[in-house]
Amino acid sequence: MSICKASRDEPYMLGRDYQASARLATLQLLIHATLGYLIHPSVSLPDRELTKELPTSARLDGFDISDEQYPPESWYGENVSLSKLDIFKPLPEELKGRYDVVHLRYFMTIVRDDTMQVVVDNLNAMLSKLHYHLQSSKVIDDGEEPGGYLQWVERDWLSKFPQSASSTDDPHTQLTCYLRRFWSPTNWINEIPKYFQKSGLSVVAYDTHTPLPIYRKPWNEDNLIGWWAAGERIPDEKERKWFQELHAKAATNAAKGWYVDWELIICVGRKGLHET
């Protein structure tokens, strides 16, 4: 069996059209609803919700390897920028030590066990060595406090399923096991603190959140939309038809209440001021 595997040099396996963008928008809302925040409470910021009423001194920079899903530049504020970045490559000098907070989500289909440290080290390099003083609203260097924060949010889904499946397993298990062979090994998902610490970050928070039952239906449906997009990219017609038929059965089962408990993992690390 074969599939158009997503990689840094190949098309994204879940697509980048308007349907993919709508799925991602729903996903972000579901993450926020499940966590109850955008930025973890352990992060000292004057506005963790990052509302549209940001002070003019604040700046939000967004990055992706592709700009195909970015909105028109005129649709976001002057203190917001969206640009391209390959986090696997050496970090541009202008991004080093620049940010108070770096927030990353959902790299499970992209990062391998053997590339995870490269990603964390690059993210760490983006963090400022200074810290934000909440009461005075100033960025200071007092030689005592640590610097910027790295927040990583990931979905622990694959660990809930076996490595392989048979035709007698339920459709969700078969589809998950089929797709996982084209993703990179993801043992790192349950070991994020280890990579943070190896990079010199202090882990200040590590939480897991299980979605409330009221959100199970939209989580299931968002997942099914992503699976359908992946199935559409299967080049072999017979194999693609098999996938689509199994997908239809999975959708029927989900509508009847199928669900597997899983968690969102959130890990927050903080940069040491005198880190070498």
- The Cα–Cα gap between 122 and 167 comes to 42
- What is the structure's pLDDT at 157? 87
pLDDT computed for residue 46 by the predictor: 61
The Cβ of residue 35 has, within 10 Å, a number of other Cβ atoms equal to 16
* DSSP designation for 237: H
Cα torsion through 237, 238, 239, 242, rounded to 10:
120
Res 7: pLDDT: 39
Q: Which two tokens stand for residue 230?
A: 């992946």
Q: What is the pLDDT of residue 1?
A: 35
Fold of 18-271: Rossmann fold (3.40.50)
- Residue numbers of the chain with a pLDDT score lower than 50: 1-8, 133-137, 140-143, 273-274, 276
Domain positions in the chain: 18-271
pLDDT for the residue 50 = 57
Instruction: Check residue 89 and give its pLDDT.
Output: 95
Note the pLDDT of residue 133.
45
Q: Note the maximum CA span of the chain.
A: 65
SS3 string, 52-117, reads CCCCCCCCEEEEECCCCCCCCHHHCCCCEEEEECCCCCCCCHHHCCCECEEEEECCCCCCCCCCHH
Q: Residue 46: which region, alpha, beta or left (left: phi > 0; alpha: psi -120 to 50)?
A: alpha
Predicted pLDDT of residue 162? 87
